Amino acid sequence: MTLERPNIAAMRGYAPGEQPQDAGTIKLNTNENPYPPSPDVAAALREFDSATLRRYPHPLADEFRQVAAKLHGLSIDNVIPTNGGDELLRLILTTFVAEGETVATTKPSYSLYPVLAAIQGAVLSEIDLDDDWSLPNDLIAQLNALGAKAFILVNPHAPTGRLVDANVVADIASRFEGLVVIDEAYIDFVSPELNHDCVPLLARFDNLLILRTLSKGYSLAGLRFGYGLASPSLAAPVLFKTRDSYNTDAISQRLAAAALGSQDYASNTWERVRESRTNLHAELEAMGLDTLPSQSNFLLSKMPEGVSAQAVYLQLKERGILVRYFDQDRLRDKLRISIGSESENQRLMAALREILKT
Amino acid sequence: MTLERPNIAAMRGYAPGEQPQDAGTIKLNTNENPYPPSPDVAAALREFDSATLRRYPHPLADEFRQVAAKLHGLSIDNVIPTNGGDELLRLILTTFVAEGETVATTKPSYSLYPVLAAIQGAVLSEIDLDDDWSLPNDLIAQLNALGAKAFILVNPHAPTGRLVDANVVADIASRFEGLVVIDEAYIDFVSPELNHDCVPLLARFDNLLILRTLSKGYSLAGLRFGYGLASPSLAAPVLFKTRDSYNTDAISQRLAAAALGSQDYASNTWERVRESRTNLHAELEAMGLDTLPSQSNFLLSKMPEGVSAQAVYLQLKERGILVRYFDQDRLRDKLRISIGSESENQRLMAALREILKT
């Protein structure tokens, strides 16, 4: 006898990227920041008094919410603190998408979305991207025809790094009848000269929710801290009903506030990643590997005709370099490579040259 | 227009106990341990290298699971690490109780259970405890007649502190057709001479899940770390399907392992709490306040005839002392008082004497 709900028994779990715990591996597989978190985070950790842990944390992480609200020019009522961005994604389904209702996303997209839909017993509709990975022209018509309750768009897109303009996001929020979730996990790596910013749209749209995470831009994947930005009416049920009452811990709250308060340091790491992205993109192209321009901290690179991307992934792994291979339509001939430090990128390139020469 | 699911729109959220962040308040309202966590936890925190936070944590917290498995004489396949015990309770409903199915508990019980049932759209059936707060004789018949998918028993019971014998738990697991969840949040405070232990039952029952938390016994409410113990077949869907892939962070994993590895220190705090419990119980009774014997780190104390428990709660609060008042059947004439340090308990008693004299 199994006690699982039928939808849980039938589903497969999310397969996270490999996380070897040794320091020797060159990890270019899960889009971590190659640079450590801010010295202010290190100081906050050193100064944290473990004796205070005997008490419950602030249930709503108000210190963090104040820092986040100030950073974005919003109020704390707009800010939902979560245990990583993944928790916010789950909470969105729990709060807004009932069993049997439809949640839409693009194909391909972040591979966690289908898993979360399966857990909730929701129907996942994946809308094909165009050949150039742009959104189809009739996206909004498709969403409304599906009767989708929510649409989740990762922007910049994973795994391509393509950025959808804020005007397009506004158009979706304006004409789609459901909830629009913009997963901005990689937003910090967008080139500043694009002046891309969806946060001002929150004042106009009550059905728009923006996800942020400290995992990538703030070098804190190990801390598990993310947050949502939304109108107070949209944020309230997540904040006060569906969120576990103490979903973030006292140390994480403190360190997350320190990280977000340390903008100069963080934006310097983003700039370095962007420079490395430009260099790595040029080198991959120079090797003859078709590589999409990216506004994120990874590149999606097509292996040469007749070369198995999976085999290259495995050969890189043998050399202690991890990249991400997706066994999915349109991706089987490609590898997703996180931007590492300059020396990591050089070691990747040397290994790739060696592997592809033979 | 509201985008919330109808069951979310209709429900009220969980009201956590008050969590003032100032150090001056005497907090006897949320069952925190009056003593700080182990020096090993402090050392683990000091030695934690913040630079490692740029990488994802171990998805399954294996270091912690190994320590927990060893402590309980189990294998890591029996251990589910969670972001506080509350997350495990939520995951139990997500994994095993579908929308419209019934989850049963006792009345009264931990006030989070009804909230979690409402979020999941499950039906909550509360089975009345007998007049002496013991389980009714026909409990199992009631559970089976309800067709309950799961039964959650907090043991020792909250808010009375009453302990249900392991033989009774075995009987429930043996004859009830659904999942049996024993919420052992307060188990560490049970008197050792009772030799109470439900963990060996896991080898006999595939439908038994035991919840533990580090919040109380290990003085780590601020860290958010709990775990489940269950047969591998019962644990697997929670571990590999419904749990957020990175539900616990790298610092918490390290500190939780240090805390659990520090048994001598922790059990010394439990012994001190038990001694204070005995003293406080005697003093409350000597004042004429009917107070249940408790195997937990709190006491449920009945206010004298004609005295409003809510008014006493408020007057204590004015004096900087927080206790818990529940606006619920059978509890409106009582206060739940967490066992504090000896000096905190003395200040509580002095304040109570003053308030009840007038």
pLDDT in tens, A71-84: 999 999 999 999 99
Q: What residues in A contact B59, CB-CB < 8 Å? A: 16, 19
Q: Cα distance from B200 to chain A (closest Cα, Å)?
A: 21
What mean pLDDT comes out for the span A222-245?
A: 97
| pLDDT reported for residue A27 | 96
Q: What residues in B contact A112, CB-CB < 8 Å? A: 245
What mean pLDDT comes out for the span A283-299?
A: 97
Domain boundaries, chain B: 15-30+264-357, 40-262
What CATH number labels B15-30+264-357?
3.90.1150.10
Count the helices and strands in chain B (H runs, E runs). 12, 11
Number of Cα atoms under 13 Å in the Cβ half of residue A278: 7
Q: Taking a C-beta distance cutoff of 8 angstroms, is the pair A332, A37 a contact?
A: no
| pLDDT reported for residue B1 | 61
Q: In Å, how far are A51, A77, A208, A229, A250 from A180, measured between CA atoms?
A: 42, 19, 5, 12, 31
| pLDDT reported for residue B19 | 86
State how far the Cα of B20 lies from the Cα of B316, in Å rounded to an integer: 15
pLDDT in tens, B36-66: 999 999 999 999 999 999 999 999 999 999 9
User: Residue A307 contacts by C-beta under 8 Å, 6 or more apart in sequence?
Assistant: A356
Three-state DSSP state, A166: helix
Q: What residues in B contact A58, CB-CB < 8 Å? A: 19, 21
Number of A to B CB contacts under 8 A, please give it: 236
pTM of the model: 0.97
Q: What residues in B contact A47, CB-CB < 8 Å? A: none
Residue B20's pLDDT band (boundaries 50, 70, 90)? Answer: confident
pLDDT at A21 over 80: no
State how far the Cα of A247 lies from the Cα of A87, in Å rounded to an integer: 9
Contact A16 B245 (CB under 8 A): yes
User: Residue A152 contacts by C-beta under 8 Å, 6 or more apart in sequence?
Assistant: A89, A92, A103, A104, A105, A109, A113, A181, A183
The closest CB to that of A96, out of B4, B86, B221, belongs to B4
What mean pLDDT comes out for the span A241-258?
A: 97
Q: What residues in B contact A9, CB-CB < 8 Å? A: 237
The closest CB to that of B36, out of A54, A222, A246, belongs to A54
User: Beta-carbon neighbour count of residue A172 at 10 Å?
Assistant: 22
pLDDT in tens, A326-346: 999 999 999 999 999 999 999
The closest CB to that of B84, out of A21, A46, A246, belongs to A246
pLDDT at A281 over 70: yes
pLDDT in tens, B205-230: 999 999 999 999 999 999 999 999 99
Would the CATH topology of B15-30+264-357 be identical to that of B40-262? no
| pLDDT reported for residue A23 | 78
Q: Taking a C-beta distance cutoff of 8 angstroms, is the pair A84, B244 a contact?
A: yes
What mean pLDDT comes out for the span B344-353?
A: 97
Mean pLDDT of the residues in chain B: 97
pLDDT at B268 over 90: yes
Contact B56 A221 (CB under 8 A): yes
Q: Domain A39-261: which CATH class?
A: alpha beta
The closest CB to that of A222, out of B17, B57, B207, belongs to B57
What mean pLDDT comes out for the span B145-168?
A: 98
User: Beta-carbon neighbour count of residue B307 at 10 Å?
Assistant: 14
Six-digit token pair at A242?
A: 């569906």
CATH superfamily to which A21-37+264-357 belongs: Aspartate Aminotransferase, domain 1 (3.90.1150.10)
Q: Taking a C-beta distance cutoff of 8 angstroms, is the pair A143, A176 a contact?
A: yes
pLDDT in tens, A163-203: 999 999 999 999 999 999 999 999 999 999 999 999 999 99
Contact A56 B19 (CB under 8 A): yes
pLDDT in tens, A88-141: 999 999 999 999 999 999 999 999 999 999 999 999 999 999 999 999 999 999
Domain B40-262 has CATH 3.40.50.1820: no
pLDDT at B243 over 70: yes
Contact B251 A222 (CB under 8 A): yes
| pLDDT reported for residue A1 | 61
Cα B259–chain centre separation: 18
Contact B53 A36 (CB under 8 A): yes
Contact B30 A56 (CB under 8 A): yes
Residue B229 is classified by DSSP as E
The closest CB to that of A4, out of B95, B115, B219, belongs to B95
pLDDT at B23 over 90: no
Contact B251 A252 (CB under 8 A): yes
DSSP A10-75: H-----PPP----SSSEE-SS---SSPPPHHHHHHHHH--GGGGGSPPPTT-HHHHHHHHHHHT--
| Radius of gyration of chain B measured on its C-alpha atoms | 20
The proportion of chain B whose per-residue pLDDT surpasses 70, expressed as a percent, equals 99
Query: What value of ipTM does the predicted structure carry?
Result: 0.97
